[in-house]
Amino acid sequence: MSGLATMDDSRALVIERLVGDSGEASHVIGAGRSMAERIVSPLQKRFSGEIGAQVTIDLRAVEVSRTTQARSHAGDYFAMAVVPSTVSSDALTMVMDAQAVAVMVCALFGGDPEAAISPIERDLSPLEADVATLVFEEIAQALNGSGKRSLDLRFPVPRAMSGQEARRRVLRDGAAVRLIFGLSTPTESGTITVMIPQRVLLVQRNGAAVGEDETSSQTDWHERFSEEVMRSAVTLEATMPLARMTLGDLARLHVGQVLDIEENAQSQAQLSARNKTLFVCEFGKLGQNYTVRIKQPFDAGQDFIDGLMPG
């Protein structure tokens, strides 16, 4: 692990290593179970429909654990991927045992779902690692979620490790929640273990509540600010088009010269505020006072077209 940024980070890590858990166990398990149950149905539809693998995925357990125990039940041969996020380099650690890999390979490449599947008792081949990567990608996408409660995972997920690389990969120790999924056909089954550090799980969940409070506060300030802005006073200006002339004619104007107003100029007045045109109006007179009657909102696009094709 790289050097710690602050003393607070160092102190938090020491406490976590000594105490074991960074959150109330029931709260952590509840949050983990909520996440896991939410993704089972979408994953089932994704595997069976879009990917075309006739397998069944189910949630088997949610436990408080340590990230270093991610491989503890995987046996000698397995696939593993560590997925980073914006807040952690190991936001997800996923381990797929050899039997789950065999189930998925058989399902993807047309194996008989009713037939027994030969177990994998060797390091995974590149093709099998690619299949495990596909499964990890789907699980990570489903767990990531969206909005304020998103884990903010970085995609695509790294290619699955296997063999000596996976067995020797050093995992940062820390409190975690372990999600165990079953991947099965009518005759065989395997397991996929997903480890989420509690520091990631709890920060994201607590951050959502803080975000909701901040949103509420921002809404209040927006309403107050908007109310004050609506009370501010601006100067309105009404202008009436006079005539069109060439630059040469404009250069020859002199003091005392009288200019003709176009016939429809009175009905083409424009009402503006702070150099922004708001409405098309019509000049008039009521008693001793001049008036402006609003006809329609100003259409900048139409005004541009009219300027290109006068008359």
List, for residues 145-184, the tens digit of each pLDDT value: 887 788 999 999 999 999 999 999 999 988 999 999 999 9
Residue 102 phi/psi, 5° resolution?
-65, -40
pLDDT of residue 228: 61
Residue type, 163: G
Mean pLDDT along residues 111-137? 91
Half-sphere exposure of 243 toward its Cβ, with a 13 Å CA cutoff?
A: 11
Stronger pLDDT, 26 or 100, i.e. the higher one: 100
Mean pLDDT along residues 17-38? 77
Question: Would you say residue 4 has pLDDT above 90?
Answer: no
pLDDT of residue 188: 92
Burial of residue 283 (CB within 10 Å: 0-12, 13-18, 19+) is: middle
pLDDT of residue 2: 44
Question: Would you say residue 94 has pLDDT above 60?
Answer: yes
Mean pLDDT along residues 267-275? 87
Question: Would you say residue 261 has pLDDT above 90?
Answer: no
Question: Would you say residue 98 has pLDDT above 80?
Answer: yes
pLDDT of residue 3: 46
- Contact indicator for 179, 28 with CB cutoff of 8 Å: no
User: Residue 67 carries which DSSP code?
Assistant: G
Domains contained in the chain, CATH given: 7-208 (3.40.1550.10), 232-308 (2.30.330.10)
Question: Would you say residue 191 has pLDDT above 70?
Answer: yes
Mean pLDDT along residues 16-35? 74
Mean pLDDT along residues 222-250? 78
pLDDT of residue 44: 94
Band (pLDDT 50/70/90 cuts) for residue 208 is very low
Half-sphere exposure of 77 toward its Cβ, with a 13 Å CA cutoff?
A: 15
> What contacts 181, CB < 8 A, 6 or more positions away?
36, 40, 57, 58, 59, 60, 139, 191, 192, 193, 194
Starting at the edge strand found earlier in the chain, the sheet holding 56-66 runs: 56-66, 175-184, 189-197, 92-97, 78-83, 161-162
pLDDT of residue 113: 76
Angle, CA of 12, 18 and 22, to the nearest 5°: 55
Mean pLDDT along residues 228-242? 80
User: Residue 85 carries which DSSP code?
Assistant: B
Band (pLDDT 50/70/90 cuts) for residue 12 is low
Q: What angle separates helix 126-144 from helix 98-108, to the nearest 10 degrees?
A: 100
pLDDT of residue 18: 47
What rounded mean pLDDT belongs to the chain?
Answer: 84
Angle, CA of 100, 120 and 46, to the nearest 5°: 25
